[in-house]
């Protein structure tokens, strides 16, 4: 089976220079990390919000993976598909019993980590959006008044520190889990989809580089910091976002 059989439809912040942008979508990042962990090549189709419906149809979300015989939508379904096609003894996304743990990590991350991180990230997602993508985001993804409130908080150094402390409190769950489990990753010494879920939040949060010192490399979370180093190395993955525009993030 050729390793470049896949096409990944992924989100980018604005419609210009699509090819040069790193996706900031938590969900697309999961799939990109899974593909990296399995060593699979793919063709990217970067889409701004406004391109999704015309390209893929109404109601379709990103990531979407075209497999050559069909399309798989939803990052967890894509992980299951890739597991079925490519898992080996040494590289896999779930492994025996891993799917249940990954589901649990997904509901913890999307239910607790995502809302805690949004005040520190959403204003930057919006700042990098073009006007059409911004309008889509605040009408269809996250309410405009909340984005406005989060933007005001991100300009206030004290609120940034409080919001970062709230994220650390959520990540304390992972810190304690890592303290009581063996291996460098969430499921032992092999990085899996569970790591890609948390990794998606780590990589997306590079849109706000202040979060490294405030969250990901903080003395309160030494095992999380170690995990970040190990997962970056194991995935070999990188993102490159433009620096935060002046005035969007307070100096902390």
Ligand X SMILES: N[C@@H](CCC(=O)N[C@@H](CS)C(=O)NCC(=O)O)C(=O)O
Q: Is 25 near ligand X (CB under 6 A)?
A: yes
Compare residues 50 and 244 and give the one whose CB is closer to ligand X. 50
Q: Is 61 near ligand X (CB under 6 A)?
A: yes
Compare residues 117 and 178 and give the one whose CB is closer to ligand X. 117
Compare residues 29 and 211 and give the one whose CB is closer to ligand X. 29
Site stretch for ligand X (CB under 6 A), options 60-68, 148-156, 201-209, 233-241: 60-68
Distance CA 5, CA 68 (A): 7
Compare residues 142 and 177 and give the one whose CB is closer to ligand X. 142
Compare residues 62 and 147 and give the one whose CB is closer to ligand X. 62
What's the closest the beta carbon of residue 46 comes to ligand X, in angstroms? 12
Task: Assess contact for 113 and 163: CB atoms under 8 A.
Answer: no
Distance CA 207, CA 19 (A): 17
Task: Assess contact for 194 and 97: CB atoms under 8 A.
Answer: no
Compare residues 78 and 160 and give the one whose CB is closer to ligand X. 78
Structural tokens at position 135: 């309008």
Site stretch for ligand X (CB under 6 A), options 35-43, 68-76, 192-200, 242-250: 68-76
Bridge partners of 176, per DSSP, are: none
Which of 46, 63, 95, 98 lies at the binding interface for ligand X (CB under 6 A)? Answer: 63
Closest CA relative to residue 10, chosen from 41, 36, 58, 49: 49
Site stretch for ligand X (CB under 6 A), options 69-77, 79-87, 162-170, 226-234: 69-77
Distance CA 193, CA 211 (A): 23
Compare residues 14 and 223 and give the one whose CB is closer to ligand X. 14
Structural tokens at position 149: 């409130």
Q: Is 75 near ligand X (CB under 6 A)?
A: yes
# chain residues binding ligand X, by CB under 6 A: 11
What's the closest the beta carbon of residue 37 comes to ligand X, in angstroms? 17
Which of 6, 13, 21, 27 lies at the binding interface for ligand X (CB under 6 A)? Answer: 27
What residues between 118 and 147 interact with ligand X by CB under 6 A? 140
Q: Which residues contact 122 (CB under 8 A, 6 or more apart)?
A: 142, 147, 150, 151
Distance CA 15, CA 11 (A): 10
Within the chain, where are the H helices? 26-38, 49-56, 75-86, 98-108, 114-128, 131-136, 144-154, 157-179, 193-204, 210-211, 222-235
Which of 5, 14, 44, 74 lies at the binding interface for ligand X (CB under 6 A)? Answer: 74
Would you tell me which residues interact with ligand X (CB under 6 A)?
11, 25, 27, 52, 61-63, 74-76, 140
């Amino acid at each position: 089976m050729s390793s470049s059989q896949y096409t990944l439809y992924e989100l980018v912040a604005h419609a210009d220079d699509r090819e040069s942008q790193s996706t900031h979508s938590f969900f697309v990042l999961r799939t990109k990390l899974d593909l990296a962990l399995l060593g699979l090549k793919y063709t990217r189709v970067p889409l701004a919000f406004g391109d999704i419906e015309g390209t893929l149809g109404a109601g379709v979300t990103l990531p979407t993976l075209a497999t050559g015989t069909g399309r798989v939508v939803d990052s967890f379904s894509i992980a299951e598909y890739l597991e079925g096609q490519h898992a080996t003894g040494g590289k896999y996304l779930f492994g025996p019993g891993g799917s249940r743990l990954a589901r649990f990590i997904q509901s913890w991350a999307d239910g607790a980590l995502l809302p805690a991180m949004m005040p520190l990230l959403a204003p930057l997602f919006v700042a990098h959006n073009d006007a059409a993508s911004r309008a889509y985001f605040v009408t269809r993804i996250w309410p405009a008044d909340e984005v406005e409130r989060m933007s005001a908080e991100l300009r206030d150094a004290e609120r940034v520190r409080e919001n970062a402390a709230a994220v650390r409190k959520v990540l304390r769950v992972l810190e304690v889990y890592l303290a009581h489990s063996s291996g460098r990753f969430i499921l032992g010494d092999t990085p899996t989809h569970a790591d890609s879920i948390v990794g998606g939040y780590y990589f997306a949060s590079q849109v706000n580089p202040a979060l490294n010192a405030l969250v990901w490399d903080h003395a309160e979370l030494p095992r999380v910091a170690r995990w970040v180093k190990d997962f970056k190395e194991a995935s070999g993955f990188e993102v490159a976002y433009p620096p935060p525009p002046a005035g969007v993030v307070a100096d902390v």
